[in-house]
Amino acid sequence: MPNEGRSPYLPIPMHVLHAYYESTDNSLKTLELSFDDPQDAREFFAAFNPGQFCLLSVIGKGESALGVASAAWEGDFVRFTAQKLGSVTTALHALKPGDPIGMRGPLGNGFPLEEWKGKNLVIIGGGCAFSTLYALTKHLHHPSNRGDYGKLTVIYGTRTSGLCMYKQDIAAWHQRDDMEVHQAIDVPEQDWLHHVGYVPDVVKEVRPSPVNSVAVVCGPPIMTKFTLPALVELGFPPETIFTSLEKRMKCGVGKCGRCNLGPKYICKDGPVFSLAELNALPADL
């Protein structure tokens, strides 16, 4: 969203609409935020594209970059899921409905949805990085979008079943006849009916077809590292494999310097890159 005179460091005033734990161990919490000013909502959704992120501000604590986990059609709110790690995400976890919060965004490029029209989509996620893929899947589910894309396959792995996010929705996805869902956990659990194993191995087992397809991979670095070659091995050309990157960020608008990958800034030029683009950049991740 171009700032047009407005400071790119000035957060949009928001407040917490809903806050609830996403994982059984309470390490992941989802916040749904609504806009204090309806004009901000209009501007946000006019610019928003799944795959983008925002910087959430807890005044007095700082900012944290989080991927948007909702689709525009869901309503005038923006969803995020935060893992409790540092001081800002700890403060985010303490927020209650009605609390004020600042948000800067949407930032970054998001998924190239126009380019993907007419193609089959293979969506592969691991852990809490699934949030933007959830936004993507939700976006595709809208009746006015679904027809633009072919077959939809989702592969989602977490360490344990308790860490799986958006459980109700994902359970409902299994019943849909317009998509294929493969869930996985790392180690066996009682009553688990889906895959057991690491995501790259599940990808090899599911063997999605590279014909007229694109694959999107978001997960922890170790998962991405082994999933990208697995897709190449299945015959996906590097131009059809996409991933969303993360690095420490402060400004989110290509100025503070720290999220560079060679000459590219993950915040401004990414976070979504194709494997072909990444192959041309230094391995500084």
Partner 1 sequence: MNLILKKDHLKHLLNAWRQDYEVYAPQSLQNFTHFLPLQDGFELAFDKAHNTRIPPKALFLPTSEALLKFTRFGGYEEVPSETAPRLIFGIHPCDAHAMTMLDTVFEQERYTDPLWKARREATVVVGLGCDEPCKTGFCTTVGSGPFNHAGLDAILTDLGEIFLVEILTDKGEYLFTQLETASEDQSMQASEVQQAAKASMPIAFETEGLKQKLDQNFASPYWEEVSRSCLGCGVCTFLCPTCFCFDIVDEAQRGERVRNWDTCMFRTYSLEASGHNPRPSRVERTRQRLSHKYSYWLDQINQIGCTGCGRCVRYCPVGLDIRAMLRKAHQLPSEVLHA
Residues that bind partner 1 (CB under 8 A): 2-3, 5, 7-11, 13, 57, 59-63, 85-86, 89, 99-102, 221, 246-248, 250-251, 253-258, 260, 262-263, 268, 282-285
Least distance between partner 1 and beta carbon 128 (Å): 11
Strands 12-21 and 100-107 turn out to be antiparallel
Residue closer to partner 1 (CB basis): 123 or 128: 128
CA distance 104 to 47: 12
Q: Give the Cα separation of 144 and 258 in Å (integer).
A: 39
Minimum CB separation of residue 106 from partner 1 in Å reads 12
* Of residues 29 and 139, the one with the C-beta less far from partner 1: 29
Residue closer to partner 1 by CB (options 38, 262) is 262
Nearest-approach distance from CB 229 to partner 1, in angstroms: 14
Cβ distance to partner 1 smaller for residue 85 or 172: 85
User: Which of 89/137 has CB closer to partner 1?
Assistant: 89
Minimum separation from the CB atom of position 109 to partner 1 (A): 11
Helix ranges (DSSP H) in the chain: 38-47, 87-93, 131-141, 143-146, 167-173, 199-206, 221-233, 266-269, 275-279
Cα-to-chain-centroid distance, residue 277: 19
Q: Least distance to partner 1 from the beta carbon of 283, Å?
A: 7
Instruction: Specify the residue, 142 or 258, whose C-beta has the smaller distance to partner 1.
Output: 258
Query: What gap in Å lies between CA 106 and CA 27, rounded to an integer?
Result: 25
Max CA distance (Å), the chain: 57
CB of 153 to partner 1, least distance (A): 28
Query: Which one-letter amino acid corresponds to residue 10?
Result: L
| C-beta of residue 224 within 8 angstroms of C-beta of residue 198 | no
CB-nearer residue toward partner 1: 22 or 234: 22
How far apart CA 42 and CA 72 sit, in angstroms, is 11
In this structure, what token pair is assigned to residue 60?
Answer: 């007095």
Return the number of the residue (111 or 265) whose C-beta is nearest partner 1. Answer: 265
Dump the DSSP string for 171-216. HHHTT-SS-EEEEEESS--TT--SEES-HHHHHHHH----TTEEEE
Q: In angstroms, what is the minimal distance from the CB of 122 to partner 1?
A: 26
| Gap between the Cα atoms of 177 and 260, Å rounded | 41
- The least distance separating partner 1 from the CB of residue 276, rounded to whole angstroms, comes to 17
